[in-house]
Amino acid sequence: MSHQIPIKIQMVDLYSQYLHLKDDIDAAMAEVIKTSSYINGPIVNEFAAELAVYNNINHVVPCANGTDALQLAMMALDLKPGDEVIVPSFTYVATAEVIALLGITPVFVDVDKDTFLINPELVEKHITPQTKAIVPVHLFGQCADMEAIMKIAHDHNLYVIEDTAQAIGAEYRFSNGSKKKAGTIGTIGTTSFFPSKNLGCFGDGGALLVEDDDLAERIRMIANHGQQVKYYHDIVGVNSRLDTLQAAVLKVKLKELNSFSERRNESACFYDEQLGNYTALSCPRRLPSSTHVFHQYTLICNSFDRDDLKQYLAERGIPTMVYYPVPLHLQKAYQMYGYSEGDFPISELLSSRVLSLPIHTEQNKEELYYITDAIKEFLTVKGLN
């Protein structure tokens, strides 16, 4: 093919992104170091307030990471052993992990084949008298069917915790035309600032998005050792904080979040354009009900071995990732809940057929052509074009 191997291709290119923002980030970090206010410095609240404005919600409660955000949400809603929480079987482990840790019972539900998102019709079927909450995951950067999920939650008096770790900045459109940001529709939204997330810091970080004042206060208290007044502990809490240095980085990056999402969408559109006409693979389906922030661009390999393509690309210097190779109900750690192969056929199928391509804010046309040309070449070799 006519395109040469560009500079090293990466799944995400955090260093180049940093170089574009270097002056502002360096200055913000230097300022924190000057004050040495590393824990709960003023920038933490400034960033939280700006993220709340961005999402048009009353409260953002920062915490140590996205997994903690989920745990804090479940603790604040007083979910207890014996309670059931509905989660998709095709997601990152953190979603189910905190449920298990708290002694709550995760109830897995299969996802939709085209969107990778929890299937609301199946959610309804899994509700029992013990069900307390639904955790939709806005997987890969697109909102789950929140209108249907909120209706089910309302009908059955359930909490909704939106796992927004992969979809910060995405916007959901209701059928009446009104719009809300991902993570601001349910009872609580949770997110992660893990470096490779769409809004990532230089380490671990997370936050909860909350509308209700009392609930936000309760979350703050639990995240701070269960205290409102220092050394007076009213409830059993945890220690979960966002470092001031991380908040300083995030405050700079938040200003760029919309342009980050645009850059990711440009790459996604290019992939769609180049690969959309092959029946051997499926490009990610976009829903009219949500914008997509493309945390991942994930292909479904319909009529060839996913691992063959993965290897073919690897040999040409193109990294790809499998998110996720084993659905949660088949993970060893979750065998105690008694699920077996065949329980969630879509999740199982996707686990064997998905392949995520490099997508980030720093990709150029040359790199993108190189990737899609290699995929087309693979399809030609396999006689699938």
Ligand X SMILES: *Cc1c(COP(=O)(O)O)cnc(C)c1O
**Could you list the active site residues?**
197
Residue list 333-352, contact with ligand X (CB under 6 A): none
**Stretch of residues binding ligand X (CB under 6 A), selected from 87-95, 104-112, 175-183, 234-242:** 87-95
**Stretch of residues binding ligand X (CB under 6 A), selected from 60-68, 103-111, 224-232, 360-368:** 60-68
Taking the complex as a whole, how short is the minimal distance between the CB of residue 20 and ligand X, in angstroms? 23
Taking the complex as a whole, how short is the minimal distance between the CB of residue 214 and ligand X, in angstroms? 25
How does DSSP assign 273-318, residue by residue?
Answer: HHHTT-SSEEPPPPPTTB-B--S-EEEEE-SS-HHHHHHHHHHTT-
Tell me: does residue 89 bind ligand X (CB under 6 A). Answer: no
SS3 385: coil
**How many residues form the binding site for ligand X (CB under 6 A)?**
15
SS3 195: coil
Q: Token pair of 191, please?
A: 């997110």
Taking the complex as a whole, how short is the minimal distance between the CB of residue 166 and ligand X, in angstroms? 5
Tell me: does residue 243 bind ligand X (CB under 6 A). Answer: no
* Calpha distance 271→172 (Å, rounded): 23
Tell me: does residue 246 bind ligand X (CB under 6 A). Answer: no
Query: Does residue 83 contact residue 318 with C-beta atoms inside 8 Å?
Result: no
Taking the complex as a whole, how short is the minimal distance between the CB of residue 68 and ligand X, in angstroms? 7
Tell me: does residue 65 bind ligand X (CB under 6 A). Answer: yes
Which runs of consecutive H residues, i.e. helices, occur in 39-143? 42-55, 66-76, 94-101, 120-125
Q: Which of 94, 104, 144, 153 binds ligand X (CB under 6 A)?
A: 94
* C-alpha to C-alpha distances, 372 to 157, 282, 293, 358, nearest whole angstrom: 47, 14, 20, 11
- Of the two residues 163 and 367, which places its CB atom closer to ligand X in the complex? 163
Tell me: does residue 192 bind ligand X (CB under 6 A). Answer: yes
Q: Token pair of 241, please?
A: 């904080």
Best CA proximity match to 109, nearest among 377, 373, 337: 337
Residue list 103-162, contact with ligand X (CB under 6 A): 137
- Of the two residues 158 and 161, which places its CB atom closer to ligand X in the complex? 161
Residue list 201-220, contact with ligand X (CB under 6 A): 204, 206
- Of the two residues 183 and 270, which places its CB atom closer to ligand X in the complex? 183
Pairing of strands 188-192, 206-210: antiparallel
- Of the two residues 94 and 99, which places its CB atom closer to ligand X in the complex? 94
| Partner residues linked to 229 by β-bridges | 232
Q: Token pair of 26, please?
A: 């360096």
| C-beta neighbour count of 253 within 10 angstroms | 23
Residues of 52-89 as b/e, b for ≥16 C-beta within 10 angstroms? bebbebebbbbbbbbbbbbbbbbbbbebeeebbbbbbb
Tell me: does residue 67 bind ligand X (CB under 6 A). Answer: yes
Taking the complex as a whole, how short is the minimal distance between the CB of residue 139 and ligand X, in angstroms? 6
**Stretch of residues binding ligand X (CB under 6 A), selected from 32-40, 71-79, 88-96, 171-179:** 88-96
Q: Which residue is nearest to ligand X (CB)?
A: 66
Residue list 250-279, contact with ligand X (CB under 6 A): none
Q: Which of 108, 116, 194, 344 binds ligand X (CB under 6 A)?
A: 194
SS3 107: strand
Taking the complex as a whole, how short is the minimal distance between the CB of residue 134 and ligand X, in angstroms? 15
Element (H, E) at 227: strand 227-229
Tell me: does residue 91 bind ligand X (CB under 6 A). Answer: yes
Residues that bind ligand X (CB under 6 A): 65-67, 91-92, 94-95, 137, 163, 165-166, 192, 194, 204, 206
